[in-house]
Amino acid sequence: MTATELQAKRRRIESARSRGEALAATIEESWSRCRPVLDARTAAAPVDAKPDEVHARWEASPIRRSGVGLEERLAQVAEAGDLVAAVTDDDGRILWTAGGRTMRHAAEQVGFIPGGRWDELSAGTNALGLALLTGQPSSVFSAEHWCEAVQDWVCWSVPVRDREGRCLGVIDLSGRWDTATPVAEMAVATLGQLVQEHLPVMAGDGRPVLRLQLLGRPQATLGGRPLALAPRQMELLAALALEGPCTLEALQLLVYGDRPVSRATVKAELSHLRQLVGGHISSRRYELTLPVEVDVVALQKLLHVGDLRAATAAYRGSLLPESDAPFARDHRHVIDVSLRRSLLANGTTSDLLRYAAVHPHDEHILEHAVARTPLTDPDHNEAVARLSLSRRS
């Protein structure tokens, strides 16, 4: 908006407010909630948390731990536009702020600082409180704010939700009403989406979840973040996940077999691996001390209950296909044979073809698919073509 348009917008809001009305239904509803509990002349939001407590809550916040450089990105936007940026917890308490010189000073005067409470009933109608309450991106312009102390502000906020839909907090950018720009609104929306897509995966007790993809191309994530693991480290991690607690000798046998490897080498590998997974490997009796999800285990459960379609869809290839570790060879054999036999007994043509996409030279699977599919079924032609290609290879 131009300066003239911004001034006109403010005049319309002030005129409506003088009549006890709001131009937007969400603002009207918010004022109705604020009117009986909060004096519009309240000078500042309450600050009711000690700095150490706020710091600890920020350090533990999944929003901060998203790993997208949120603090740096927000600070850059705020300083460039003389705005103030803030991130709250799920109660509306500010955990972190940054800002340009003018807005930072203005924020300090009204309790827009770490520890400040900006839920609606504490600070009146504001974008942070509305985003927290409605679960939707919110903006509040000038005199739409309930409290007079911030009626020269404009604020843009977005809630951040976890994968279960729970609100973890709010990201906000605020500035003076007469310098309002769509750039700030777009920036906070973009950063909110970025954070939400990179939230750490946590168990109910707050520990990060280790996820192992061992079928096909091996991958590992810790709390949603990829782990850069060497093949031997992946083998050690997989052995601990699939075999359970192990002594050093047992783990060495599972991974290295009869190769001449010293105890010191194995211990050094485990020590480095422990650092990569945040210390979540116990020593002496080696065991993973965090929640673990493994695609192999999930596939075995699907086979156990007879859900062949889901099991085949989850099968991206053999377990650790490049590994010659004894435990990997054993688990690979069990998974491949169990799935193959189940498919030959009860699999649909599409299931058989999906398996054949991973093992294109398994002629018996393809012959079975051809034999059990009617000539009029499109899958029949695909099965014939794949079988012909396999026999020519």
At 100 the three-state DSSP class reads coil
Q: Report residue 236's pLDDT band, with 50, 70 and 90 as the boundaries.
A: very high
pLDDT in tens, 285-343: 899 999 999 999 999 999 998 889 889 988 999 999 999 999 999 999 999 999 999 99
**Residue carrying structure tokens 């901060």:** 64
Q: Report residue 218's pLDDT band, with 50, 70 and 90 as the boundaries.
A: very high
**What is 3-197's CATH superfamily?**
GAF domain (3.30.450.40)
CATH label, 210-293, candidates 1.10.486.10, 1.10.10.10, 3.40.50.300, 3.30.1360.120: 1.10.10.10
Nearest to 209 by CA among 284, 302, 278: 278
pLDDT at residue 160, rounded to an integer:
95
Secondary element (H or E) of residue 62: none
pLDDT in tens, 255-296: 999 888 999 999 999 999 999 998 899 987 899 999 999 999
**Are 123 and 34 spatial neighbours (Cβ–Cβ below 8 Å)?**
no
**Are 338 and 311 spatial neighbours (Cβ–Cβ below 8 Å)?**
no
Polymer length of the chain = 393
Question: What mean pLDDT value characterizes the chain?
Answer: 91
Q: Locate 194 and state its tokens.
A: 């970025």
Q: Is 283 exposed, middle or buried (0-12, 13-18, 19+ CB in 10 A)?
A: exposed
Residues in a beta bridge with 154: 141, 175
**Residue carrying structure tokens 């192999």:** 296
pLDDT in tens, 8-23: 999 999 999 988 888 8
Helix (DSSP H) and strand (DSSP E) numbers for the chain: 17, 11
Model-level pTM?
Answer: 0.59
User: Could you state, in order of their start, the residue ranges of all structural domains in the chain?
Assistant: 3-197, 210-293, 294-392
Q: Report residue 95's pLDDT band, with 50, 70 and 90 as the boundaries.
A: very high
CA angle 32, 34, 35 (to 5 degrees): 70
